[in-house]
Amino acid sequence: RTVRSFVTEEKEIANYADKINVSYLITKKRAWISGGLSSLTNLAGDSCILVAMWYGGHMIFENEMSVGGLVSYMLFALQSVFAFSSLISIFPQFMEALG
């Protein structure tokens, strides 16, 4: 009622549309950053696992390590990778909370 009484309804509609558009662009940028960070951490974790498997297989073929040793190492490594990825997944939410 107040907006109509001062005949600025069209201006307020345009102002609201501008604010919504800015909010959309900020959210879109945050989504790209969060997706990029998640992709990089997943790629880094998978690469580390791949290198560990390759090097462990190499050591098994040269009789420097047993299969059981490689399995126990890989279980430890997977726990570490999952813990690291969980910490990284919290980072965008923490930054959003800070503003």
pLDDT for 98 equals 81
Three-state secondary-structure class, residue 23: helix
Q: pTM of the prediction?
A: 0.61
pLDDT in tens, 5-38: 667 778 888 889 999 999 999 999 988 988 888 8
CB 37 within 8 A of CB 92: yes
Please state, in angstroms and rounded to a whole number, the distance separating the CA atoms of residues 35 and 48: 20
pLDDT, tens digit (0-9, with 9 covering 90-100), for 45-63: 888 888 888 998 899 899 9
Q: How far apart are the first and last CA of the chain?
A: 34
Distance CA 43, CA 12 (A): 46
Taking the C-alpha atoms of residue 95 and residue 99, their distance in angstroms, rounded to an integer, is 6
pLDDT number for residue 48: 84
